[in-house]
Amino acid sequence: MSFSALGLVPALSRAVAKLGFSAPTAIQAAAIPAVLAGRDVLATAQTGSGKTAAFCLPLLQGVLAGAATLPHRVRALVLVPTRELAVQVGGVLQQLARTLDRPVKVAAVFGGVSINPQMMALRGGADVVVATPGRLLDLLQHNAVSLAAVNTLVLDEADRLLDLGFADELAQVLAALPARRQNLFFSATFPPAVVTLAKGLLHDPLRVAVEAESPAEPAIVQRVIEVDAPRRTQLLRHLILTGGWERVLVFVATQHAADQVAAKLNRDDEIYATSFHGGLSQGARAQTLDEFKDKRWDVLVTTDLTARGIDIVQMPVVVNYDLPRSADDYVHRIGRTGRAGECGLAISFVSADSEAHFRLIEKRQKLKLLRERIAGFELTQAAAIAAPGNGGVKGKRPSKKDKLRAAAKTAAESA
């Protein structure tokens, strides 16, 4: 099937051809015609499946159709949870727009940097805005952008928007949008809270669910290694050196842990490691990612900031130094490897105290993984006695974020 067969205008068909896209992916083939037809869409697909182009292409076609009557008025708004994802989605839109016959202005706005350059960039308007919710509200308060002409709203990684506590900001943005509009939800996972929000926002949506392909052998090999928590850094160093790993993404729970683990790995000249987290400035984060992509660092120690929206080609190994809080985050973390047809390796460190936590992740992901022990790093510590609970995985009791999600749903229903 060709892109033109999906209903794209010749200018966009030529644009995707210039960028080397020969045929649409499954999510693109299913979603693009529905979006072009004006339907609301609730789309689920694995990371790396082409979700971004699945909404970027029809968004640009809609902008081209209205460019003559509404020049440089924001017609499409894409909300994303992180600065990195804003840059990535904005980059895809700008890359596609550069090949079109008519100029289309795309603006990516996000926090963590000065608002003034973004206000200047929005002078004269924009056709498409990609934004994190907090920065968009700042720009609205400064009267730097108007959402009065928006006819399409995209929530990309909607589950992450709620997980990061954006429910209140999301409700405020929804209140500033026209009541009549097309709504598109794209994400790799849709937990119950997002489904509830979608029910309040979407009108007769087309549900698109593209399952991951099942090759003869799994693209990602998952391993679980038992180790005492205090010896994880030593084991990590051992695995990197003995395995000859040249590029490793290591997930930890906190910014402090990222800095600490990177510093310990850097104690000699055998391994070059650096940290990456939300505590760094936007400039430092961009530079670190560029250096890692250029293979100037062997190891990037990061928080869940990098679990989504960051596409680093040829990422052979991902390590869960600290286990993720939720089963969904486990999927997103290991999804950083094994992309674009490459094979990947995902390793999780499990101590006696975190064994129950990982069993729940296995249960929710329908996994049963063999526990390994590495000679010289065998378990010696017993699990601490803990009160009954769910092992740290998000449970059913409403948290503060759950209450914010409920508030967003109420706001959406009344919008």
Q: What is the pLDDT of residues 333-353, one digit of tens each?
A: 888 887 655 678 899 999 999
What is the SS3 assignment for 374? coil
Enter the tokens of residue 397.
């009791």
CA–CA separation, 401 and 411 (whole Å): 15
196, pLDDT greater than 80? yes
Alpha helices by DSSP H, 146-187: 158-163, 167-175
pLDDT band at 200, cuts 50/70/90?
Answer: confident
The confidence score (pLDDT) of residue 284 equals: 87
Q: Which residue has the tokens 């990422």?
A: 315
- Mean residue pLDDT of the chain comes to 83
Question: What per-residue confidence (pLDDT) applies to 254?
Answer: 92
> What span, in angstroms and rounded, lies between the C-alpha atoms of 55 and 79?
12
Residue found under tokens 């914010």: 404
Rounded to a whole number of angstroms, the distance between the first and last alpha carbons of the chain is 39
Query: Across residues 389-411, what is the average pLDDT?
Result: 54
Rounded distance between C-alpha atoms, residue 367 and residue 108, angstroms: 38
Q: For residue 19, what are the contacts with CB-CB under 8 A and spacing of at least 6?
A: 95, 96, 99
Question: Which domains can be identified in the chain, with CATH numbers?
Answer: 4-213+403-414 (3.40.50.300), 220-372 (3.40.50.300)
Q: Is residue 208 within 8 Å of residue 43, measured between CB atoms?
A: yes
CA 78, CA 110: separation in Å to the nearest integer? 12
Question: What is d(CA 306, CA 288) in angstroms, rounded to the nearest whole number?
Answer: 12
Nearest CA-CA partner of 374 in 279, 254, 206, 232: 232
Residue 395, token pair as written in the block: 């449970």
Q: For 8-66, what is each residue's pLDDT tens digit? A: 888 888 888 777 677 888 888 989 999 999 999 998 876 667 888 899 999 999 888 77
Residues 157-177 have pLDDT tens digits of 887 787 667 788 888 999 999
Bridge-based pairing of strands 248-251 and 317-320 is parallel
Confidence of residue 217 (pLDDT cuts 50, 70, 90): very low
Taking the C-alpha atoms of residue 9 and residue 201, their distance in angstroms, rounded to an integer, is: 29
Q: Which of 286, 265, 285 is nearest to 276 (CA)?
A: 285
pLDDT per residue over 111-124, tens digit each?
878 899 999 989 88
Residues sharing a CB contact under 8 Å with residue 321, sequence separation 6 or more, in sequence order: 232, 236, 250, 251, 252, 257, 261, 301, 349
Please give the radius of gyration of the chain, using alpha carbons only, rounded to the nearest integer.
22
- With a CB cutoff of 8 Å and minimum separation 6, the contacts of 94 are 106
Alpha helices in 245-310 (DSSP H): 255-265, 282-293
Residue 127 DSSP symbol:
S
Q: How many residues does the chain have?
A: 415
pLDDT of 396: 46
DSSP H helices in 67-128: 83-97, 115-121
Comparing 65-79, 159-173, 288-302, 378-392, which segment has the lowest mean pLDDT?
378-392
In tens, the pLDDT along 248-260 reads: 999 999 999 999 9
Taking the C-alpha atoms of residue 137 and residue 169, their distance in angstroms, rounded to an integer, is 8
Report the distance separating Cα 59 and Cα 38, nearest Å: 11
Sign of the torsion formed by the C-alpha atoms of 306, 308, 312 and 314: positive
